[in-house]
């Protein structure tokens, strides 16, 4: 069972509030491993750590110098980013990166790298020449056929790396092998991964050599490989990404759950498919629920706190007239734009965050959360903070102290997921029935076995059967603004106990193991905009 924590090495500890000896570095991450262990995540997915050009953003806004903070501007593919090291030589960079990986492994945490092979920092025809342009421009990049001084740009970054040219393919393969064999990482997430499926003519290939090479190569067979299965030129391959063992960032999961939790009608069927592991996307080609990387937020977009606090993006600090970043965020501010000193609005926002957390961690597939979402990290409504190596993007460790109740909820939801095999199945549901007469997965509305799939419904319930000695799990989700009384399934020889109710204040919102509350009766009132989870004993 993998639970991914997407994070930025520098931003994780660079704030003075982190209290670490080596802020903003690989060593700083080591100092915060106890925090990750307590939260319960099993893998960190690191934003780019290859040497990148932080100076390719040159704007200054309100006296603040902007820079490329995220790192999707790779300069050297075989070197750790020197700014993340405390040392004076490249060997110090390598040693400290390896020390971080070793320490994370000793804590039982895998290391997945976000890698950028779709483009390089050399940009378009006006960009600099660092490497590939000077070695063999026409081999490494897609050039416009009738005017080869210009570059085809499928990435939105000025150029496109020719990943399936034999030379480009070999470079990628050698690079990945180096980071596995010499730096001991456990996997990779491929930024704009669909670019790696484009052939020499730029068209998508059914069997792109580089992707199958990665999938089948002996040195990479045990690594986790995850694709962002789209690119900036409109190629969208969710459920169709070439290969069999690739995980995919499931944007359809994100969109459906966001719409559902904010109260949109007409999404019940879509939400059910996503919670059940997106079989419609992956089962047809023999894949499993684990091919779906489920997420609500990622580095590019609102934080979870901002998702429930802003209807609109607020990217003025980026110096682009608030024209950058996407406009369609499926967010809801709960009645007021931005921070507000209103107990009712703040309580609703807190409940909405818990609803997202509960649904994410109750869904089949691999869950991913983003650095700081567990303590309500905010970017002030900025949904494209790529250029802010400052407090806008950094983890504010004061929020850990201020949001202990939220951290507790995430911690025990993660623990709940780990303890119940029914939530993280290796295969899709088949309709198998357990000894108590429950199907492996059954759907309901407020009435048992009568899910309301029509366009007006905002409620959904489901039961996941436990087998042998495992607990059954019954989940009721009410995203309506009125309470609803849900019927409960009967379970021969067992009783229902409440483990989670997101409308309850902490610590009653989630029970620690063994402290669940027995349910008396055959129905349960679920309050507006709440998720309730029962287990059988």
DSSP 323-350: -SS-S------TTSSS----HHHHHHHH
228 belongs to the catalytic site? yes
Q: Distances from the Cα of 366 to the Cαs of 104, 278, 283, 354, 363, in angstroms? A: 20, 11, 15, 18, 8
How many other CB atoms sit within 10 Å of the CB of residue 267? 23
Q: Is 110 helix (H, G, I), strand (E, B) or coil?
A: strand
Q: Is 441 helix (H, G, I), strand (E, B) or coil?
A: strand
Element housing 105 (H / E): helix 90-106
How far apart (Å, rounded) are the C-alpha atoms in residues 524 and 526? 6
Q: Are 500 and 511 in contact (CB under 8 A)?
A: yes
Q: Angle, nearest 10°, between helix axes 268-275 and 251-261? A: 130
How many other CB atoms sit within 10 Å of the CB of residue 273? 16
Q: Angle, nearest 10°, between helix axes 343-362 and 404-419? A: 20
Name the DSSP letter for residue 306: H
Helices (H), 420-489: none
Bridge partners, residue 225, by sequence: 188
Task: Classify burial at 49, counting beta carbons within 10 Å of its beta carbon; exposed 0-12, middle 13-18, buried 19 or more.
Answer: buried
264 belongs to the catalytic site? no
How far apart (Å, rounded) are the C-alpha atoms in residues 208 and 205? 5
How far apart (Å, rounded) are the C-alpha atoms in residues 461 and 4? 26
Q: How many Å is the maximal CA-CA distance in the chain? A: 76
How far apart (Å, rounded) are the C-alpha atoms in residues 166 and 162? 9
- Catalytic hit among 93, 191, 440, 472: 191
Encoded tokens for 492? 């021969």
- Catalytic hit among 228, 389, 440, 472: 228
Q: CB-based contacts of 65: which residues, under 8 Å, 6+ apart?
A: none
**Any idea which residues carry the catalytic annotation?**
191, 228
């Amino acid at each position: 069972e993998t639970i991914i924590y997407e994070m930025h090495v520098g931003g994780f500890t660079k704030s003075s509030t982190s209290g670490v000896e080596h802020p903003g570095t690989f060593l700083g991450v080591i100092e915060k491993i106890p925090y990750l262990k307590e939260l319960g995540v099993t893998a960190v997915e690191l934003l780019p750590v290859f040497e990148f050009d932080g100076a390719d953003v040159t704007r200054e806004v309100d006296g603040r110098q902007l820079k490329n903070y995220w790192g999707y501007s790779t300069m050297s593919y075989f070197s750790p980013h020197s700014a993340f090291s405390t040392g004076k030589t490249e060997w110090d960079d390598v040693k400290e990166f390896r020390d971080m990986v070793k320490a994370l492994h000793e804590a039982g945490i895998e290391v997945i790298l976000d890698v950028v092979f779709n483009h390089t920092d050399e940009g378009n025809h006006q960009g600099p020449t660092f490497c590939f342009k000077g070695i063999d421009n026409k081999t490494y990049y897609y050039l416009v056929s009738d005017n080869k001084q210009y570059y085809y740009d499928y990435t939105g970054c000025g150029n496109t790396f020719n990943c399936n040219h034999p030379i480009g393919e070999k470079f990628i393969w050698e690079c990945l092998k180096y980071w596995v064999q010499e730096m001991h990482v456990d996997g990779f997430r491929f930024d704009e991964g669909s670019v790696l499926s484009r052939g020499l003519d730029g068209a998508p290939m059914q069997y792109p050599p580089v992707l199958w090479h990665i999938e089948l190569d002996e040195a990479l067979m045990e690594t986790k490989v995850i694709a962002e299965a789209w690119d900036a030129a409109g190629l969208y391959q969710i459920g169709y990404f070439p290969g069999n063992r690739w995980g995919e960032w499931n944007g359809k999961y994100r969109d459906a759950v966001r719409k559902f939790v904010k109260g949109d009608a007409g999404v019940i069927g879509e939400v059910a498919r996503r919670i059940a592991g997106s079989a419609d996307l992956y089962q047809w080609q023999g894949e499993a629920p684990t091919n779906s990387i489920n997420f609500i937020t990622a580095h590019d977009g609102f934080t979870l706190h901002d998702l429930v606090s802003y209807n609109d993006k607020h990217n003025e600090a980026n110096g682009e007239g608030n024209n950058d970043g996407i406009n369609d965020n499926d967010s809801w501010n709960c009645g007021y734009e931005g921070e507000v000193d209103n107990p009712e609005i703040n309580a609703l926002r807190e409940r909405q965050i818990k609803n997202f957390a509960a649904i994410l961690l109750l869904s089949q597939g691999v869950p991913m959360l983003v650095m700081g979402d567990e303590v309500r990290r905010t970017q002030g409504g900025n949904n494209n903070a790529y250029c802010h190596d400052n407090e806008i993007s950094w983890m504010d460790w004061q929020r850990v102290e201020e949001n202990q109740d939220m951290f507790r909820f995430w911690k025990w939801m993660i623990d709940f997921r780990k303890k119940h095999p029914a939530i993280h199945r290796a295969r899709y549901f088949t309709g198998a029935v357990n000894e108590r007469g429950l199907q492996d997965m059954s759907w309901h509305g407020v009435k048992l076995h009568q899910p309301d799939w029509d366009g007006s419904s905002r409620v959904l319930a489901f039961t996941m059967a436990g087998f042998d000695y495992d607990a059954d799990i019954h989940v009721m989700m009410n995203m309506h603004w009125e309470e609803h009384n849900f019927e409960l399934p009967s379970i021969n020889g067992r009783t229902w106990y409440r483990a989670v109710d997101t409308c309850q204040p902490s610590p009653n919102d989630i029970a620690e193991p063994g402290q669940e509350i027995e349910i008396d009766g055959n129905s349960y009132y679920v309050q507006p905009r709440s998720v309730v989870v029962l287990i059988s004993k």
